[in-house]
Amino acid sequence: MPLDKDIKIPIIHNTAIIDEGAEIGEGSRVWHWVHVCGGAQIGKGVSLGQNVFVGNKVTIGDQCKIQNNVSVYDNVHLEEGVFCGPSMVFTNVYNPRALVERKDEYRDTFVKKGASLGANCTIVCGVTIGEYAFVGAGAVINKDVKPYALMVGVPARQIGWMSQYGEKLDLPLEGEAQTTCPNTQQQYQLKNGQVTIIE
């Protein structure tokens, strides 16, 4: 498939299956062996890597990048600019059993603007991952994640803060402090357990 940034219509590989009713925004790219269900709403400039599945009750914001072998199941909602690393996992049932039907018990999962979900991490359903949070490779998220938080481990724990650019910030986990992104020079402030940008 061409990678011409001026192309406005979605570019869809001929092995992909796009069910009737699915909405895919202009400039999006759908790669090999992708399946998008009919109720999915996908924004502009989205990249769906090889072997991605997108369920019916899914929203994917503009400029998200979903790498190979990711299944975005029903009730998962990604805001603008979310990165999903290769083979990371979403769930939508908290206590699944093969012999118990629980499709009416799906829990909503929200991933806020600019967050990154590392390769092979797992997002247990029902959580909200804050803006620009960064989930390390292989981590397991089973509770809400603060904006800008850097999360690693099983179960995941916070070990720091990340800038919008994706650089680790020189800030403590608690207390009050200020620092600057080493790449963009944007200033950040930690106060009351939250990181915000200093305008």
5's CB contacts (< 8 A; 6+ apart) are: 27
Please, which pLDDT band fits residue 2 given cuts at 50, 70 and 90?
Answer: very low
Q: How far apart are CA 84 and CA 66, in angstroms?
A: 5
Distance, in Å, from the CA atom of 150 to the CA atom of 76, rounded to the nearest integer, reads 21
Quick: pLDDT tens for 42-78. 999 999 999 999 999 999 999 999 999 999 999 999 9
Instruction: Determine the pLDDT at residue 173.
Output: 97
Compute the distance between CA of residue 13 and CA of residue 114 in angstroms, rounded to an integer.
Answer: 26
pLDDT(85) > 80 = yes
Closest CA to 90 of 40, 34, 142: 142
What pTM does this model have? 0.94
Q: What is the pLDDT of residues 89-100, one digit of tens each?
A: 999 999 999 999
pLDDT score at 1: 41
pLDDT (mean) for 131-141: 98
Task: Return the percentage of the chain with pLDDT > 70, whole number.
Answer: 96
Q: Would you state the pLDDT for residue 7?
A: 61
Omega cis (within 30) before 86 = no
